[in-house]
Amino acid sequence: MRSILVILIALCGFQGWAQVQFNASTSKEKLGINERVRVDFQMNKDGDNFTPPDFDGFRVVGGPNQSVSNTYINGKKTYSKTFSYFLSPMSRGKFTIKQATVEIDGELYKTLPLTVEVTAAVDVPKDGNNAEYVASENVHLVAEVSKRNPYLNEAIAVTYKLYVSEDVSVTRAWREIDIPKYADFWSQVKENQQRRVFEGKFKGRNYRYVILKTAVLYPQKTGELNIEPLVLDVPVEVLSNKRDFFGRRLTTTVNQTVAAGNLTIDVKPLPEEGKPANFTGAVGDFKFNISASRNQVDANESLEIRVEAEGNGNLKLFNLPELTLPSTLEVYDPKREENIKTNSSGMSGSIATTYTVVPQYKGTYPVQPLRFSYFDLATETYKTITSDGTVITVENGPVSSDSTADDNTATASSGTKNIIQTGDQFNYIKLKSSLQPIASPTFFKSPLYWSLMGGPLLLIPIFIIAGKKRKERLADAEGQRKRKADKLVKKYLSEAKKNLGNSAMFYESLERAMHNYLRAKLRIETTEMAKEKIAQMLEEKGADTDSITQFIELLKSCEFARYASGASNNVASDYEKATLVVTQLDKQL
């Protein structure tokens, strides 16, 4: 017997001498922004006052889940207690999960920091837990591309659709957490403000979907180009296996991160065969013409010549051919005008270059035709349009001493023109004026004079009446109390008043308003506090029994309304009661 006691004492001593272990571990060290990571804090001996880290850079979507394990192997007891958290990253980068602490046998123990790297969204998330897994299987973000093998500068559309199955629901607004930059593309994003819901199929199943936005892209490089994914944070309501008092299934709201996936576009170069020498990059289907505002003018009178292209294509991404004119015509810097609309099929409209021309001499000036070339996507060939020429006739003015206007030849508009000035082309502009008013009005006895003199006298009765009204208002004690009550009701019960037509939302906002009122008046957190404790604290603050009873009854009505569908008949009555009891309590506290 003595030997058995010695063995037992030795075993207990070895167990007491065993080293305490408190460790932290993660389910993965590298994950995509649309995945989840599990963090476990494990101890081999029971402790108190466990404190988790702040989890900077992550959102806690599950936990803490606590598990305890006691095992006996070959007579040896092993104890393990674990706190588990499920985290969702909020952005890309490297993040540090800081130390957790726990108190064991009066000693404070800490875990070592852990590093987790968050990368771009992955195509198929490989984690999930309960409601999070159900949400990941029933909510999908899809990017549909109109064409994956376009030509250089050919429009493509990327349409983003959010698919939600009939097994879950999305009732609140989602949030963009990673937006594609569309490198190597000219882009214009059109947000869909209507958010109309459509019915459709996704992977053979019935889904509801909305079109979030459409990005119109024009590739600016050839070869394989990458389009980054759009990533959203979506609140998803999932039916759980739990049921309420009436047998209805309860829902759980989880935040699901969904990504559209990476897209690869293979851009073809424009063919070299048949490319015109004057081709400047226009791709699409266009019309081209030149027009003059006037064909007959006098010397030193201005006119406008308009070079215009219209149609469908990359209108903002090429230059119109430059106009060439005789050197004896003074030409000002051209002005570019755009009238372009962008839809899912690309840009459409017109672009124009307007030249302001001022002839200096009498004569006839021909404007040579221009050639405009573009790549036609329908036929996959180059086409060239030649505009009609026009003639500008200057009827009156000096004659050039060097040569006649008819013999002048056009020079390239990109070169420098030698403009011959006569010295009197601006004589018609009067640079100075000597205008004098016909009659100078006098200030004395003018309307302004009498207004300034009589205005202050007219204001005296107004100030007297306003002062009397203010004194009456201050003396009206009942009115003061009513205004204060109205202000109090507006502050705390405005949200409940807005939801009078919706019973569930009304009682939810009413209960929240009443708790907010107590939090403001008593400086306490009442969300998890029992009604008996609330009544006791109100009584200690000096509230009378009737007001306390009415306040508690209203709290019970709010809780009962969650389960009783007939509560909608009492909405107006409960709102009036809430208004009265909040006003009464405010006078007493």
DSSP state letter for 389:
P
Query: Binning pLDDT at 50, 70 and 90, where does residue 230 land?
Result: very high
pTM over 0.85: no
CA quadruple 478, 479, 484, 489: dihedral sign: positive
Count of CA atoms in the C-beta half-sphere (13 A) of 211:
17
DSSP β-ladder status, 296-297 and 390-394: parallel
Q: Which helix (H) or strand (E) holds 256?
A: strand 249-259
The 10s digit of each residue's pLDDT in 483-497 is: 655 665 666 677 777
| Predicted confidence (pLDDT) at residue 73 exceeds the cutoff of 80 | no
Angle between helices 571-588 and 545-561 (to 10 degrees): 140
Q: In the chain, pLDDT over 70 holds for what percent of residues? A: 82
CA quadruple 469, 470, 473, 475: dihedral sign: negative
DSSP string covering 2-43: HHHHHHHHHHHHHHHHSPP-EEEEES-SEEETTS-EEEEEEE
Burial class (CB in 10 A: 0-12, 13-18, 19+), 382: middle
Cα 99 from Cα 92, distance rounded (Å): 21
Residue 531 has what pLDDT? 79
What b-and-e string marks burial along 23-47, b requiring 16 or more CB atoms within 10 Å of the CB? ebebbeeebbbbbbbbbbbbbbbeb
| Predicted confidence (pLDDT) at residue 551 exceeds the cutoff of 80 | yes
DSSP reduced 3-state for 417: coil
Cα 50 from Cα 99, distance rounded (Å): 11
**Could you tell me which residues come within 8 angstroms of residue 366 by beta carbon, excluding any fewer than 6 positions away?**
326, 389, 390, 391, 392
Residue 512 has what pLDDT? 81
Cα 95 from Cα 115, distance rounded (Å): 6
Mean pLDDT of the chain: 81
Residue type, position 529, single letter: M
Residue 403 has what pLDDT? 42
Give me 196's structure tokens: 């109309």
Of the ranges 68-77, 143-152, 197-206, the best mean pLDDT one: 143-152
* pLDDT mean over 139-152: 93
Q: Which helix (H) or strand (E) holds 551?
A: helix 545-561
| Predicted confidence (pLDDT) at residue 17 exceeds the cutoff of 70 | no
- Number of C-beta neighbours around residue 121 at 10 A: 24
* pLDDT mean over 22-33: 87
15 vs 505, residue with greater confidence: 505
* pLDDT mean over 358-363: 87
| Predicted confidence (pLDDT) at residue 9 exceeds the cutoff of 70 | no
Burial class (CB in 10 A: 0-12, 13-18, 19+), 4: exposed
| Predicted confidence (pLDDT) at residue 213 exceeds the cutoff of 70 | yes
Closest CA to 159 of 189, 195, 193, 186: 189
C-alpha 357, offset from chain centre: 47
Residue 380 has what pLDDT? 93
* Residue 408, CA distances (Å) to 126, 299, 363, 364, 432 in order: 77, 16, 10, 10, 37
| Predicted confidence (pLDDT) at residue 15 exceeds the cutoff of 50 | no
Residue 353 backbone dihedrals phi, psi, to 5 degrees: -115, 125
Residue 555 has what pLDDT? 82
| Predicted confidence (pLDDT) at residue 166 exceeds the cutoff of 90 | no
Contact 232, 200 (CB under 8 A): no
The 10s digit of each residue's pLDDT in 283-336 is: 999 999 999 888 888 888 889 999 999 999 999 999 999 888 887 788 888 999
287 vs 482, residue with greater confidence: 287
* pLDDT mean over 154-160: 94
Residue entry with tokens 């200096």:
360
Contact 352, 165 (CB under 8 A): no
| Predicted confidence (pLDDT) at residue 462 exceeds the cutoff of 60 | yes
CA 571-576-582 angle, 5° bins: 120
Q: In the chain, pLDDT over 90 holds for what percent of residues? A: 29
Residue 376 has what pLDDT? 94
Residue 412 has what pLDDT? 37
Query: Binning pLDDT at 50, 70 and 90, where does residue 130 land?
Result: low
Q: Does the N-terminal peptide bond of residue 441 adopt cis geometry, omega within 30 degrees of 0?
A: no
Residue entry with tokens 């070079």:
307
Cα 306 from Cα 355, distance rounded (Å): 6
| Predicted confidence (pLDDT) at residue 390 exceeds the cutoff of 90 | no
| Predicted confidence (pLDDT) at residue 368 exceeds the cutoff of 60 | yes
- Number of C-beta neighbours around residue 67 at 10 A: 11
Cα 162 from Cα 139, distance rounded (Å): 7
Query: Binning pLDDT at 50, 70 and 90, where does residue 245 land?
Result: confident
Query: Binning pLDDT at 50, 70 and 90, where does residue 82 land?
Result: confident
Cα 480 from Cα 485, distance rounded (Å): 9
Angle between helices 447-475 and 477-498 (to 10 degrees): 90
Count of CA atoms in the C-beta half-sphere (13 A) of 204:
0
Closest CA to 88 of 139, 22, 50, 136: 136
| Predicted confidence (pLDDT) at residue 128 exceeds the cutoff of 80 | no
Query: Binning pLDDT at 50, 70 and 90, where does residue 509 land?
Result: confident
Q: Which helix (H) or strand (E) holds 494?
A: helix 477-498
| Predicted confidence (pLDDT) at residue 139 exceeds the cutoff of 70 | yes
| Predicted confidence (pLDDT) at residue 415 exceeds the cutoff of 70 | no
